[in-house]
Amino acid sequence: MAAPVQAPAGAPAATRSDRVEQRLRERFPEVPFRRQEGAAVRDVTLFLPAGRLVEVCTFLRDDPELEFAMLVSITGVDYLPREPRFEVVYHLLSITHSLRFVLKVQLHEERPEVDSVVDVWLTANWHEREAYDFYGIKFLGHPDLRRILLPDDWVGWPLRKDSPLGYQEVSFTHNTPNRTVPDPDLKKLGPKKVKYRAH
């Protein structure tokens, strides 16, 4: 039986997160996991093929040594002009073991699709809808994949890097027609005196 993730008291979280990666590599030896490196990488982050996402997430949730019972967020990233263009980032939390872990899948521009993880974590429902709303990433098997923040008739995906920038001038006194300019002699009103009646 594998050693538990909970390291001895005082063990750094990074050591325990490394153990999560080890467990994944033991359970899925055929999956080409790739660890993201770099000074800006805070939590242990693994790339994996999109086709293996659901089973890996299910294992992370159900394995008693890991218990990643909480999906914190799903975010999309557009790396235009790089190919694969998109990344979908899954931030996971094991409350039992006080651990954070990140999974990433890369998607090509011509088919930005990945299987939904709603059946693994119900909170994925709205997270996936948001990524669809802003990036046009499709989550296959999602029970209700439609816009969540933008109007239903919105055209396009506003957080894609090739989305046209909108512009609307902000209204001020100097550029608003028929706006009256305040009287310069107007004095600031003092605080209003309010009488309170006891109930």
Residue 99 in this model has a pLDDT that exceeds 80: yes
Query: Do 36 and 106 meet the contact criterion of CB atoms below 8 Å apart?
Result: no
Query: What CA–CA distance (Å, rounded) separates 2 from 147?
Result: 43
Amino acid at residue number 177: P
Residue 66 in this model has a pLDDT that exceeds 90: yes
Confidence of residue 2 (pLDDT cuts 50, 70, 90): very low
Tens of pLDDT, residue by residue over 149-163, are 999 888 899 999 998
Burial 112-142 (b: 16+ CB within 10 A, else e): bebbbbbebbeebbebbbbbbbbbbbbbeeb
Query: What CA–CA distance (Å, rounded) separates 21 from 37?
Result: 14
Query: What CA–CA distance (Å, rounded) separates 118 from 173?
Result: 49
Query: Residues of the chain with pLDDT > 70: what percent?
Result: 75
pTM comes to 0.77
Q: What is the pLDDT at residue 185? A: 67
Tens of pLDDT, residue by residue over 125-136, are 999 999 999 999
Q: Is 66 exposed, middle or buried (0-12, 13-18, 19+ CB in 10 A)?
A: buried
Task: Give me the helices (H) in 86-145, please.
Answer: 124-135
